[in-house]
């Protein structure tokens, strides 16, 4: 029995049009087609597709997984047909460049659609997701010929893409990459090495699989400064663009893993495979960083998607399952026991899931609109502001969303009791599937280091000011508003904790760099809680103005209240832990472990 899923269209539209300024996005040059009515119609179509085509394959895809036989990778039953329908419906082309056959919709629109794909079937969604990542790399750094060759195929979905960074000896530290690239006389390169853990690495759903590979030229400098990006097709491409003979690319194995079993995570062997340089020599990491913001936001989105899916399953179950009586007397006397939704602890879990899911959705959609301003706003100062905010909040969104998304899926299992642990209900799959998002695209620990080690000091603290200054003035203004005090008082306290944590790191990390590493994860969590608190305060205010019209707004106010009272106060204990420094970690003799 697959857990139910209905795309949260009302919440998406509330955020896109009411809380943030979706209409202003369609006024940006190049995004004129994203008029409100068009966006709503697209969201409705995507919802139908997610619910009717992707969702029914989620549990069966997990159970069946992918297979490698005689060098051929087979995806779970139904995936190939669903992907073909996806292609035919044009979903691959949503954000791709109109010059190359794409629809060119704003990123902030695509992120809502992608959330539905990820909620309904994360494994299947990743094939198109990785293709989009590859398209971004080619579009940002490729030559005109490379763009003309690859981008239309990515946009129509007939070729798919992968990102090949990881090797057995390196994941976080890509400076250790060993895959070699040797220049050929015809301008191409022979690429040799083994990449591991490659998502959507091989399959027969598309005519070709195009790998974006990081490798090292013979004379490259050691470390991160000697990495170059190459495009390496599974099948060579003839001069007329047709598919040629097999390239020196093969799948060595499919990883057996904890979750996302419907996605083929492959060991990719490159044996003098013909490849072409993308961008310039030894600038492969910069090419990767071009895509990092949106790729990491995309991973953060998976946290929201998992939380939403699990929440919907848990709510339905909590209303249906009867066990014990309410502490305050029977609530459903006609039944032998009350539905478990009457119990405070079950409500605690449901509301935690909901408050994190809707709160992180707000944060992510806000930053997605900022990224659209960064791409298209004619005002240079506005573009810079948007870029600063997105850069600062990207590690927060990637790590906080996926941490709380994972926590939410765990609550989902808990609400089902022992039945949550049994595969039949689909709840345990959400836990397994959600876990990966905390690991790939840079582990969440590395996101925290990015926040405190790079983003905090970037441009002399300018990025931090972009977030801190408006939040400070928002709190000052709203502190005059008595109706808002139940939200503003706890948010102001949490913001003070964030300021104190920032000050503590600024004065202690220079004395002892281990304090930076020891504080980073606590700091990111405080940052996430405060940013999401800021979103909840804004959502509460807007909802109070509209509360007479719809239950939707009344529920928002109550969820905001729960967030402020029950989740945001974590900042206090996190601050205490952070200020304890790293001595208890680093003074621990290695032999004692
Ligand atoms: C299912 C799956 C799909 C994947 N898909 C892809 C893909 O499509 N393409 C691709 O290239 N890769 C992919 N990956 C690889 C993934 O991005 C890496 O596994 C991840 O970046 C971590 O690298 P690692 O596994 O080598 O861990 P390591 O780098 O060995 O890290 C181990 C631990 O040490 C910590 N650590 C490392 N350095 C530091 C430090 N300086 N300070 C503090 N802590 C540190 C890490 O946070 C982590 O907890 C995938 C992985 C999986 C499991």
Q: Which of 58, 70, 425, 440 is nearest to 261 (CA)?
A: 58
Q: Is 69 helix (H, G, I), strand (E, B) or coil?
A: strand
Angle of helix 485-508 relative to helix 458-478, nearest 10 degrees, comes to: 160
Mean pLDDT of 274-297: 87
**Separation of alpha carbons 291 and 236, rounded Å:** 25
The predicted pLDDT at position 113 comes to: 98
Q: Does residue 37 surpass a pLDDT of 70?
A: yes
Ligand 1 midpoint to CA 512 (Å): 26
Residue matched to tokens 């601050």: 575
From the CB of 194, is ligand 1 less than 6 Å away?
Answer: no
The predicted pLDDT at position 1 comes to: 65
Residue closest by Cα to atom 40 of ligand 1: 446
The pair of three-digit structure tokens given for residue 91, joined into one six-digit string: 């979903």
Ligand 1 site-directed mutation target among 167, 215, 440, 521, most atoms within 8 Å of CB: 440
From the CB of 199, is ligand 1 less than 6 Å away?
Answer: yes
The predicted pLDDT at position 514 comes to: 97
Q: Is 251 helix (H, G, I), strand (E, B) or coil?
A: strand
- The answer to whether the beta carbons of residues 262 and 65 sit under 8 Å apart is yes
Ligand 1 midpoint to CA 224 (Å): 16
Give the alpha-carbon dihedral of 316, 322, 327, 331, to 10 degrees.
Answer: 80
Ligand 1 midpoint to CA 438 (Å): 10
**Separation of alpha carbons 59 and 424, rounded Å:** 9
The predicted pLDDT at position 286 comes to: 87
Q: How high does pLDDT run on average in the chain?
A: 96
Q: Which residues contact 217 (CB under 8 A, 6 or more apart)?
A: 180, 181, 182, 183, 226, 228, 281, 282
Task: Name the H helices within 143-193.
Answer: 144-156
Q: Please give the number of the atom of ligand 1 that sits closest to the Cα of 130.
A: 8
Ligand 1 midpoint to CA 174 (Å): 10
From the CB of 445, is ligand 1 less than 6 Å away?
Answer: yes
**What CA–CA distances, in Å, run from 43 to 110, 122, 393, 556?**
9, 18, 25, 21
Q: Is 228 helix (H, G, I), strand (E, B) or coil?
A: strand
Fold match flag (9-144 vs 160-282): no
The predicted pLDDT at position 94 comes to: 92
**What CA–CA distances, in Å, run from 62 to 77, 259, 262, 316?**
11, 7, 5, 22
Q: Which of 344, 331, 292 is nearest to 566 (CA)?
A: 344
3-state SS of 378-412 is CCHHHHHHHHHHHHHHHHHHHHHHHHHHHHHHHHH
What's this model's pTM, rounded to 2 decimal places? 0.98
The pair of three-digit structure tokens given for residue 374, joined into one six-digit string: 């960064």
Residue closest by Cα to atom 48 of ligand 1: 443
- The answer to whether the beta carbons of residues 115 and 368 sit under 8 Å apart is no
From the CB of 351, is ligand 1 less than 6 Å away?
Answer: no
pLDDT tens for residues 58-94?
A: 999 999 999 999 999 999 999 999 999 999 999 999 9
**Separation of alpha carbons 382 and 368, rounded Å:** 14
From the CB of 268, is ligand 1 less than 6 Å away?
Answer: no
From the CB of 123, is ligand 1 less than 6 Å away?
Answer: no
From the CB of 66, is ligand 1 less than 6 Å away?
Answer: no
474 phi, psi to nearest 5 deg: -60, -45
Residue closest by Cα to atom 53 of ligand 1: 197
Q: Please give the number of the atom of ligand 1 that sits closest to the Cα of 445.
A: 47
The predicted pLDDT at position 295 comes to: 83
- The answer to whether the beta carbons of residues 241 and 149 sit under 8 Å apart is yes
Q: Which of 560, 43, 518, 44 is nearest to 351 (CA)?
A: 560
From the CB of 174, is ligand 1 less than 6 Å away?
Answer: no
Ligand 1 midpoint to CA 195 (Å): 13
Ligand 1 midpoint to CA 175 (Å): 13
Pairing of strands 159-164, 208-217: parallel
**Separation of alpha carbons 298 and 97, rounded Å:** 18
Ligand 1 midpoint to CA 536 (Å): 32
294 confidence band (pLDDT: 50, 70, 90): confident
Options 1.20.58.1610, 3.40.50.1820, 2.30.30.100, 1.10.540.10; CATH of 9-144: 1.10.540.10
**What CA–CA distances, in Å, run from 21 to 15, 16, 18, 108, 371?**
9, 7, 7, 11, 13
DSSP 8-state class, residue 418? G
Q: Which of 567, 350, 370 is nearest to 466 (CA)?
A: 370
Residue closest by Cα to atom 11 of ligand 1: 165
The pair of three-digit structure tokens given for residue 299, joined into one six-digit string: 């991973």
Residue closest by Cα to atom 27 of ligand 1: 171
The predicted pLDDT at position 517 comes to: 97
pLDDT tens for residues 200-233?
A: 999 999 999 999 999 999 999 999 999 999 999 9
Q: Which of 222, 230, 248, 235 is nearest to 181 (CA)?
A: 230
The pair of three-digit structure tokens given for residue 198, joined into one six-digit string: 């490659």
From the CB of 257, is ligand 1 less than 6 Å away?
Answer: yes
**Separation of alpha carbons 428 and 417, rounded Å:** 11
- The answer to whether the beta carbons of residues 405 and 360 sit under 8 Å apart is yes
Ligand 1 site-directed mutation target among 171, 213, 227, 453, most atoms within 8 Å of CB: 171
DSSP 8-state class, residue 28? S
- The answer to whether the beta carbons of residues 537 and 560 sit under 8 Å apart is yes
DSSP 8-state class, residue 323? -
Ligand 1 midpoint to CA 440 (Å): 6
How far is C-alpha 466 from the chain's CA centre? 22
From the CB of 172, is ligand 1 less than 6 Å away?
Answer: yes
The predicted pLDDT at position 95 comes to: 86
Q: Does residue 293 surpass a pLDDT of 90?
A: no
**Separation of alpha carbons 237 and 146, rounded Å:** 12
**What CA–CA distances, in Å, run from 258 to 431, 432, 434?**
9, 6, 10
The pair of three-digit structure tokens given for residue 341, joined into one six-digit string: 């939704």
From the CB of 432, is ligand 1 less than 6 Å away?
Answer: no
From the CB of 252, is ligand 1 less than 6 Å away?
Answer: no
From the CB of 163, is ligand 1 less than 6 Å away?
Answer: yes
The pair of three-digit structure tokens given for residue 507, joined into one six-digit string: 């004065």
Q: Is 269 helix (H, G, I), strand (E, B) or coil?
A: strand
Residue closest by Cα to atom 32 of ligand 1: 172
From the CB of 295, is ligand 1 less than 6 Å away?
Answer: no
pLDDT tens for residues 354-382?
A: 999 999 999 999 999 999 999 999 999 99
pLDDT tens for residues 547-566?
A: 999 999 999 999 999 999 99
Q: Please give the number of the atom of ligand 1 that sits closest to the Cα of 199.
A: 8
The predicted pLDDT at position 72 comes to: 97
- The answer to whether the beta carbons of residues 278 and 212 sit under 8 Å apart is yes
Residue closest by Cα to atom 22 of ligand 1: 171
pLDDT tens for residues 424-462?
A: 999 999 999 999 999 999 999 999 999 999 999 999 999
**Separation of alpha carbons 31 and 106, rounded Å:** 6
Ligand 1 site-directed mutation target among 162, 169, 172, most atoms within 8 Å of CB: 172
Q: Which residues contact 12 (CB under 8 A, 6 or more apart)?
A: 43, 112, 115, 361, 365
Which fold is adopted by the domain 160-282?
Butyryl-CoA Dehydrogenase, subunit A; domain 2 (2.40.110)
Mean pLDDT of 189-200: 98
What amino acid positions are annotated as catalytic residues?
441
From the CB of 165, is ligand 1 less than 6 Å away?
Answer: yes
Give the number of C-alpha atoms closer than 13 A to the C-alpha of residue 190, restricted to the C-beta side: 8
**Separation of alpha carbons 466 and 472, rounded Å:** 11
Domain boundaries defined on the chain: 9-144, 160-282, 444-587
- The answer to whether the beta carbons of residues 158 and 188 sit under 8 Å apart is no
């Amino acid at each position: 029995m697959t857990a139910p899923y209905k795309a949260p269209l009302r919440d998406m539209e509330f955020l896109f049009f009411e809380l943030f300024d979706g209409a202003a996005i369609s006024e940006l040059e190049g995004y004129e087609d994203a008029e409100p009515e068009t966006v709503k119609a697209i969201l409705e179509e995507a919802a139908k597709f997610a619910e009717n085509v992707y969702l029914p394959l989620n549990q069966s895809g997990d159970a069946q997984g992918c297979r490698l036989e005689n060098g051929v990778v087979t995806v779970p039953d139904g995936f190939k047909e669903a992907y073909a329908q996806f292609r035919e419906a044009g979903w691959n082309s949503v954000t791709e460049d109109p010059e190359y056959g794409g629809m060119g919709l704003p990123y902030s629109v695509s992120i809502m659609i992608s959330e539905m794909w990820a909620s309904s079937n994360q494994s299947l969604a990743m094939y198109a997701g990785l293709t989009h990542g590859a398209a971004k790399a080619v579009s940002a750094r490729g030559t005109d010929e490379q763009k003309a060759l690859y981008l239309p195929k990515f946009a129509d979905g007939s070729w798919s893409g992968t990102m090949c960074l990881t090797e057995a000896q390196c994941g976080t530290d890509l400076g250790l990459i060993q895959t070699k690239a040797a220049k050929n006389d015809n301008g191409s390169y022979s690429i040799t090495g083994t990449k591991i853990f490659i998502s959507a690495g091989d399959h027969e759903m598309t005519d070709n699989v195009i790998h974006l590979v990081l490798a090292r030229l013979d004379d490259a400098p050691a470390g991160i400064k000697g990495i170059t990006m190459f495009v390496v097709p599974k099948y060579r491409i003839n001069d007329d663009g047709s598919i040629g003979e097999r390239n020196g690319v093969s799948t060595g194995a499919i990883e057996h893993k904890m979750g996302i079993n419907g996605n083929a995570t492959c060991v990719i062997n490159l044996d003098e495979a013909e490849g072409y340089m993308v961008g310039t020599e030894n600038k492969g990491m910069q090419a990767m960083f071009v895509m990092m913001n949106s790729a990491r936001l995309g991973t953060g989105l998976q946290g929201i998607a998992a939380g939403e899916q699990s929440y919907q399953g848990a709510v339905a179950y909590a209303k249906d399952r009867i066990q014990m009586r309410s502490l305050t007397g029977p609530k459903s006397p006609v039944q032998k026991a009350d539905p478990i939704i009457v119990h405070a602890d079950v409500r605690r879990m449901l509301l935690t899931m909901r408050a994190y899911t809707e709160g992180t959705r707000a944060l992510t959609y806000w930053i997605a609109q900022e990224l659209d301003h960064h791409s298209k706003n004619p005002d240079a100062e506005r573009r810079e502001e948007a870029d600063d905010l997105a850069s600062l909040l990207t590690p927060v969104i990637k790590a906080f969303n996926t941490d709380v998304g994972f926590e939410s899926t765990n609550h989902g299992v808990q609400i089902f009791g022992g039945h949550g642990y049994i595969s039949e209900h689909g709840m345990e799959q959400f836990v397994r599937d959600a876990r990966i998002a905390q690991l790939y695209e840079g582990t969440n620990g590395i996101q925290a280091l990015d926040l405190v080690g790079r983003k905090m000091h970037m441009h002399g603290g300018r990025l931090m000011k972009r977030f801190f200054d408006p939040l400070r003035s928002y709190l000052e203004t709203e502190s005059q508003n008595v109706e808002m005090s139940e939200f503003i008082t706890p948010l102001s306290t949490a913001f003070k904790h964030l300021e104190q944590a920032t000050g503590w790191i600024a004065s202690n990390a220079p004395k002892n760099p281990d304090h930076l590493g020891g504080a980073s994860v606590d700091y990111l969590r405080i940052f996430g809680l405060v940013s999401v608190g800021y979103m909840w305060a804004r959502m509460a205010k807007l909802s109070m103005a509209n509360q007479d019209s719809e239950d939707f707004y009344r529920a928002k106010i109550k969820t905001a209240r729960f967030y402020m009272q029950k989740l945001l106060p974590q900042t206090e204990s996190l601050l205490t832990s952070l200020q304890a420094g790293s001595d208890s970690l680093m003074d621990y003799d290695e032999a004692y472990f």
